[in-house]
């Protein structure tokens, strides 16, 4: 496991190619972070759920694109993986806390 993590931490020699790993991380990681963030936004915005959902639906595409770009521009594969996992865990934990209140 350590060998595999060390392999992910090495920066690539050519910075011109994004690579399949970072592309997949940016698409699916950006999607998960965007949807969890918009779900959290529905809980935070005061008002009815119908009004909050409209704002979330409008911002979801923009948020997905920005987060996918942020993930794909990471220096190493390890950073790309962390940029997918850490925000997903944070938003997931916050949703669990807010849902149980």
Per-residue pLDDT tens listing for the chain (101 residues) = 888 878 888 887 766 677 888 999 999 999 999 999 999 988 888 888 788 888 888 889 999 999 999 999 988 889 999 999 999 999 999 999 998 87
Rounded CA gap, 45 and 56, in Å?
Answer: 10
Residue 18 has phi, psi (to 5 degrees) of: -80, -45
Confirm whether 6 is domain-assigned.
Answer: no
Looking at the structure of the chain, the number of domains it has is 1
Confirm whether 2 is domain-assigned.
Answer: no
Rounded CA gap, 30 and 88, in Å?
Answer: 9
The pTM of the full predicted model, rounded to 2 decimals, is 0.83
Confirm whether 30 is domain-assigned.
Answer: yes
**Where would I find the beta strands (DSSP E) of 1-101?**
none
N-to-C CA span, the chain: 38
Confirm whether 4 is domain-assigned.
Answer: no
Domain holding 54, by residue range, is 19-100
Confirm whether 52 is domain-assigned.
Answer: yes
């Amino acid at each position: 496991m350590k060998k595999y993590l060390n392999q992910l931490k090495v920066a690539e020699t050519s910075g011109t190619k994004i690579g399949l790993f970072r592309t997949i991380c940016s698409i699916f990681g950006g999607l998960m972070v965007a949807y969890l963030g918009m779900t959290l936004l529905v809980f935070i915005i005061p008002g009815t759920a119908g009004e909050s959902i409209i704002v979330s639906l409008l911002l979801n595409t923009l948020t997905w694109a920005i987060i996918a770009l942020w993930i794909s521009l990471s220096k190493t594969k390890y950073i790309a993986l962390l940029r997918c996992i850490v925000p997903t865990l944070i938003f997931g934990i916050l949703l669990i806390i807010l849902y149980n209140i």
